[in-house]
Amino acid sequence: MLKYSLKRLARSLLTLLILITVIFILLRFMPEEGYFNNYEKMSPTQIAVGLQKMGLKDPLYVQVSRFIVNLFKGDLGVSYRYRVNSPIASIISPKISISVKVGLISMAVSLPLGFLLGIIMARYKGKIWDAIGNAYIVFIQAVPNAVYFIFIQLYGSTWLNISMLYKETDWKTLILPVVSLALPSISSYGMWLRRYMVDESNKDYIKLALAKGVPTRRIWSHHVFRNAVVPMVNLIPGSLLMTISGAIYTESYYSIPGMGGLLVDVIKRQDNNMVIVLVVLFASVGIVGLLLGDILMAIVDPRISFSKKEGSR
């Protein structure tokens, strides 16, 4: 177990390093104006001096290694256009807490509801509840969420008679962003749990239990659900960590000053340095989420042994 975790960790670190290098090199090919606030008014000499100062004239490998070393020291560099010359870490840290808050609330809503949906659909497979749940899942999966988020914002705010935009003082303005975030999560939790439970309920040992006379209720709660929940555990750390990266649509629709909205802002203003940092941050969150998910799954389900299946995922 420990050996597996260490191996997995080393691999994730390697992925992260490759990723940082690739992103860094790619973004260094971007136009130079992404490093200055008033590029149009500057003379070529000024630009050259500016680039020299920032160390952008150094060979690429020097830049990459400096970036990585600084990153491990906790220095994320400074923003050039979004907020001139202020350290990125100080821009990001208040935003992370807001994103995490909204994300956690929506997870707290969507986890139980999603599980409930999955259980009901699996339990009454082929009945009307299953059909309704399926229609909901198909709608959420097929229609781009940009579209239905707009309508939630538009009609939700008139219907509940609340402001369209987020206000820190008014908790009611959090309802719509949380609903928007929860809808797709509920559908995906519900869909996967239903699938795992239906698979589980078709297994032979369930038939045996049924033949033996175990009450249906007990079969569903003690065997089907318990076994079906194990693979679901894999998703949870990822979802938890992904709250850091925020939700791009929800946050920018409702003007929540979080991380997701920040990415859109920096891209629109072409602040190269911040794009690099944010992309690296989001990607590492994804990597760590998967890592934790795999480890947690191995802890929860003793039948899973990764050492044998090494390389199969």
Q: Which residues are at the interface with other proteins (CB under 8 A)?
A: 11-12, 15, 18-19, 23, 26-27, 29-30, 138-139, 141-147, 150-151, 154, 242, 245, 248-249, 252, 263-264, 267-268, 275, 279, 282-283, 286-287, 290, 311, 313
What residues are paired with 78 via a beta bridge? 87
Spatial distance between the Cα atoms of 191 and 194, rounded to a whole number of angstroms: 5
- Structure-derived torsion over alpha carbons of residues 98, 99, 105, 109, reported in degrees to the nearest 10: 160
Instruction: Output DSSP code: residue 87.
Output: B
Q: Which is nearer to other proteins, 65 or 141 (CB)?
A: 141
Comparing CB distances to other proteins, the nearer of 56 and 283 is 283
Cβ proximity to other proteins: between 179 and 290 the closer is 290
Residue 92 beta carbon to other proteins: minimum distance, rounded to whole angstroms: 16
Cα–chain center distance at 248: 10
3-state secondary structure (DSSP) of residue 127: coil
Note whether 99 and 243 are within 8 A (CB): yes
User: 79: alpha, beta or left, given left = phi > 0 and alpha = psi -120 to 50?
Assistant: beta
Q: How far is the CB of 158 from other proteins (least distance, A)?
A: 10
Nearer to other proteins, 232 or 291 (CB): 291
Name the 3-class secondary structure at 115.
helix
Write down the least CB distance from residue 221 to other proteins, Å: 30
**Chain centre distance of CA 19:** 17
Work out how close the CB of 279 gets to other proteins at its nearest, in angstroms, rounded to a whole number: 6
Report the residue number, 209 or 291, with the smaller CB distance to other proteins: 291
CA distance 19 to 244: 19
DSSP 3-state assignment of 256?
coil
Q: How far is it, in rounded angstroms, from Cα 313 to Cα 309? A: 8
What are the distances in angstroms from CA 300 to CA 1, 159, 222? 12, 43, 16
> Least distance from C-beta 194 to other proteins, angstroms?
14
Q: Shortest approach of other proteins to residue 295 CB, angstroms?
A: 14
Which CB sits closer to other proteins, 114 or 246? 246
Taking the complex as a whole, the smallest distance from the CB of residue 213 to other proteins amounts, in Å, to 31
Please say which residue, 23 or 297, places its beta carbon nearer to other proteins. 23
Closer CB to other proteins, 30 or 62, in the complex = 30
Q: 10 Å Cβ neighbour count for 251?
A: 26
Distances (CA, A) of 266 to 23, 64, 247: 16, 21, 15
Q: How far is the CB of 304 from other proteins (least distance, A)?
A: 18
